[in-house]
Structure 1
Amino acid sequence: MNPRIVIRHLDTPADWTRAFSVMKQLRPHLTDATAFCTQLRAQHEQGYRLIAASDADTVLGLAGYRTQMNLIYGRFVYVDDLVVTNELQRSGIGASLLDAVRNIARESDCAHFVLDTGLHMALAQRFYYRNGLLARGMHFVETLNDTTEQTR
């Protein structure tokens, strides 16, 4: 990875606005930066954190995560979002973001590091295998209403 690239937490609406176009590559249903910031503020209050790989003020990749606890994993970090700009995929940025979140999990005494990916995402699955993650289950979803926010 380029030594000019820095990985840091994004904690302000100004930071989140700079990250919007990159997150939109992963979550194309996001259409408005202001609504995105409002959503991130609500998620941040529930423990969601967003880190970015940046070169100066240009966001190149993002990882969104949260620390949770359940009976299956004990204390663990769950990665909600992982994206690198299309032109920089396979550059090591995604692996560096995963490593950064994995280190946060270790420093937080988490027992596991967990994420989901779509069954149709063969390239992502290979990336996760190469980076030490193993498939351990399937994620099931039932849509309870027709609102756009609830179906994502």
Structure 2
Amino acid sequence: MGYISELFNEEEVTHAFEVIKQLRTHLTKDQYLDLVTDSIKDDGYRMFGMYEGSEIVAVLAFQPMTTLYYGRYIWITDLVVDEAWRSKDYGARLLSYIETWAEEQGYDCIALSSDLKKERAHQFYTDKMDYDKVSYVFKKSL
């Protein structure tokens, strides 16, 4: 049932846009590529894709971070499964893969935020993946 691979080059990152845009609907392909390129270069941003054949069916992206609150941790910035492939365990498999990767790399934990309206996603994280709700994330647009 599929395989997971890190997305390294522009072709692979571009291929993931069709899935990412289902989560990040406000981004054009050019904006997406600019942001990903800058984040890889400046922030250690990494992307992994879940494949079925040559098709990317799920994408997970993260940034390694260090804070006084979490210590050394992985901040998941994006996790999305293509609509046509949802409810087939791809999200769980991809997240579990990253959890194992992070543990092997010596990270203390994984953290993420999720839109307040995405109750199914919250259930996925808390009930299926055993994540704790520990805070609210606040934002102010400038």
Compute the TM-score of the two structures, normalised by the length of structure 2. 0.95
- Structure 2 equivalent of residue 51 of structure 1: 48
CA drift of 1:79 comes to 0.4
Q: Which runs of 5+ in 2 are unaligned?
A: none
- Superposed counterparts of 1:1-150, under 5 Å: 2=1, 5-32=2-29, 34-45=30-41, 46-129=43-126, 130-144=128-142
- After TM superposition, which residue ranges in structure 1, 4 or more long, deviate above 4 angstroms? none
Residue identity over aligned pairs, in percent, reads 26
CA drift of 1:119 comes to 1.1
Q: Which runs of 5+ in 1 are unaligned?
A: 145-152
SS of alignment partner, residue 118 of structure 1:
coil
- The letter of the residue matching 1:62 is V
For the 8 Å contact 1:65–1:101, the answer to whether it is kept is no
Between the aligned partners of 2:35 and 2:53, the Cα distance in structure 1 is: 25
Deviations 1:18-73 (A, max 9, x none): 111100000001122x3322221111111000000012221100000111100001
Between the aligned partners of 2:34 and 2:112, the Cα distance in structure 1 is: 24
Compute the TM-score of the two structures, normalised by the length of structure 1. 0.89
CA drift of 1:103 comes to 1.1
SS of alignment partner, residue 14 of structure 2:
helix
SS of alignment partner, residue 25 of structure 1:
coil
Between the aligned partners of 2:136 and 2:7, the Cα distance in structure 1 is: 30
Between the aligned partners of 2:94 and 2:31, the Cα distance in structure 1 is: 25
Between the aligned partners of 1:50 and 1:109, the Cα distance in structure 2 is: 19
What is the number of equivalent residue pairs in this alignment? 140
